[in-house]
Structure 1
Amino acid sequence: MHLLHDPEAPAAELIDFDTFLKVDIRIGTVVSAEPFAKARKPSHILMIDFGPAIGTKKSSAQIAVNYAPDDLVGRQVAAVVNFPPRQIGPVMSEVLTLGFADDAGEVTLFAPDKAVPNGSRLF
C-alpha cells in the first residue's frame, strides 16, 4: 500500500498554522462527471462548481471504483483549489479532489455531512 494510503503510517512532519492556511480547501458541487477512459487508473473527469469567487473547475479524480458518474452529479466534494493546474494525460486538472483510502486502497470522497454553500473554506 502507498505510504499516503497506509493507516499505519506515522503522522507527517509538524507544520505551523500559517503553512496550513496556505492550502485552500473548498467545497463544491459536482455539476458533471464522465469516465476518463485514457487514465491509467479508474478515474472520472469532474466539473465542480465552487461558487462565484472560484467558479467551476475541472478535476481528474481516481474514484471510478467506488463511484459511478451518475452518482456524483449534485454531490458536494472537498478539493484543494490553489494548486497549479496539472496535466493528467490529455486532461488539465485544475483542482485536487480529496478523499481517503478505503480498506481496499480505493478512494472514498471527503465531504461535509450537511450541505454547505459552494466555495466554503475548510478551517
Structure 2
Amino acid sequence: MTPAPIKELIAFSDFEKLDIRVGTITAVTDVEKSKKLMKLTVDFGDHTRTILAGIKQERENPSEIEGKQALFVVNLPEQKMAGEVSQGMLFDIGYADKQLPCLAMPETPMPNGSRAG
C-alpha cells in the first residue's frame, strides 16, 4: 500500500469539534435490508446507542466483535439507512485505503464513554 497524501491542515479548534469516545459493542445484529450494514449496540457508560457499520462483507463472522471496545464518533447527526437509524459512526482503520478494516481500539480496557483526543 502507498500511503495517501496528508490532507490539508485544519485548525485545532476544528479537531476539537469531534467527539470520539470508547464504547463496548454489546450486540451485533443483521440489517436485513442491507448487503453491507450491521447494527451495533454500543454501551457508552451512561447510555447505549445504535451504530450502523458497513462490516457485513468485511468479516466472515461480524459477531466476533461483540464484547470488544472500540472508538466511535458520537456527535454526528442521526442517519437513517436501510430502515434503521444510526446514532454515530464506528471509527475504524483501513477502509479509506481499501484495506481490510480493523477496529480502532484502546490498548488496555478503558471506562465506556472515555474521550479520545
Same fold? TM cut 0.5: yes
Deviations 1:53-91 (A, max 9, x none): xx1111111122226243122110110000000111101
- TM-score computed with the length of structure 2 as normaliser: 0.87
* SS of 1:45 mapped into structure 2: strand
Partner of 2:54: 62
Structure 1 residues 111 and 67, CA gap change in structure 2 (3 angstroms): farther
Partner of 2:104: 110
What does 1:1-123 correspond to in 2, within 5 Å?
8-41=3-36, 43-52=37-46, 55-64=47-56, 65-66=58-59, 68-101=61-94, 105-123=99-117
Query: Structure 2: which amino acid aligns with 1:100?
Result: I
Partner of 1:3: none
Deviations 1:6-57 (A, max 9, x none): 853211111111111100000000111112232242x3100101111xx111
Q: Which runs of 5+ in 2 are unaligned?
A: none
Give distance in 2, aligned partners of 1:7 and 1:111.
Answer: 24
- TM-score computed with the length of structure 1 as normaliser: 0.83
- Cα RMSD (Å): 2.0
Query: Structure 2: which amino acid aligns with 1:27?
Result: V
Question: Identity over the aligned pairs, expressed in percent?
Answer: 33
Give distance in 1, aligned partners of 2:98 and 2:104.
Answer: 16
Count residues with an aligned counterpart.
115
In the TM superposition, structure 1's runs of 4+ consecutive aligned residues that sit over 4 Å from their partners are: none
